[in-house]
């Protein structure tokens, strides 16, 4: 399933993002979560420098559009809460979610003159509700492939040069020096 969003720059276009996971929010709602700019965001909390906003969900390769979480996802989360209980706070790892959508973390130490892109291996949900992206510390890798839970993983958002998250399509365009992707980075750089 994919999340759809729109922005003011392209009012007649819907953009899609692959959904990382479904989550139960503090108010009991079930929403899709996606890597979005500097954090993992719920569908309804999405916004961007071009006034981006959530527009719904879709089933790829079909005309099926919807705004509510699918019932089977709601039931999965209900069952998980019954089995594991609600998170109780603290910094312990409650769950580690493998990144299966190709998220990349973007790092820059020189105000976007140069970029380094690293694949996100997983996302750690902590007891206090924070979610941290995990990337491989290349100097600490002792075996491959690097898997969720490996000792060489480090929190992406805690690195001083961390800037943004992008899904693989944009990351690949940045690697290819695509003019549109680079222009989008320039807009983000100007706003940060």
Q: Provide the residue ranges of all domains of the chain, joining segments of one domain with +.
A: 1-86, 88-192
Burial class of 85 by CB neighbour count within 10 A (0 to 12, 13 to 18, 19+): exposed
- 153 in helix, strand or coil? strand
pLDDT tens per residue, range 86-102: 777 788 888 899 999 99
Cα–Cα distance for residue pair 170/182, rounded to 1 Å:
10
Q: Give the residue-averaged pLDDT of 143-167.
A: 94
* 50 pLDDT tier (thresholds 50, 70, 90): low
Please tell me the distance from the alpha carbon of residue 39 to that of residue 97, in angstroms, as a whole number. 15
Contacts of 95 (CB under 8 A, 6+ apart): 124, 125
Mean predicted confidence (pLDDT) in 125-149: 93
Other Cβ atoms within 10 Å of 69 Cβ, number: 20
Dist CA 135 CA 162 (whole Å): 11
Which pLDDT band holds residue 49 (cuts at 50, 70, 90)?
low
CA 145 to chain centre: 21
Q: Helices 179-191 and 168-175, interaxial angle, to 10°?
A: 100
pLDDT-derived band of residue 51, with 50, 70 and 90 as boundaries? confident
pTM for the model stands at 0.87
């Amino acid at each position: 399933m994919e999340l759809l969003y729109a922005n003011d720059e392209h009012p007649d276009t819907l953009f899609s993002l692959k959904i990382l996971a479904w989550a139960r929010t503090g108010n009991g709602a079930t929403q899709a979560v996606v890597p979005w700019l500097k954090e993992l965001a719920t569908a309804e909390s999405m916004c961007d420098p071009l006034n981006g906003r959530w527009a719904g969900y879709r089933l790829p390769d079909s005309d099926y559009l919807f705004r509510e979480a699918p019932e089977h996802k709601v039931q999965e989360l209900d069952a998980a809460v019954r089995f594991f209980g609600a998170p109780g706070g603290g910094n312990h790892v409650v769950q580690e979610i493998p990144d299966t959508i190709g998220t990349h973390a973007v790092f820059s130490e020189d105000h976007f003159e140069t970029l380094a892109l690293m694949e996100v291996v997983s996302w750690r949900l902590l007891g206090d509700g924070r979610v941290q992206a995990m990337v491989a510390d290349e100097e600490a890798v002792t075996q491959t492939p690097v898997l969720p839970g490996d000792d060489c993983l480090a929190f992406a958002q805690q690195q001083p040069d961390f800037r943004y998250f992008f899904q693989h399509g944009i990351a690949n365009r940045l690697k290819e020096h695509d003019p549109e992707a680079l222009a989008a980075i320039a807009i983000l750089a100007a706003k940060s």
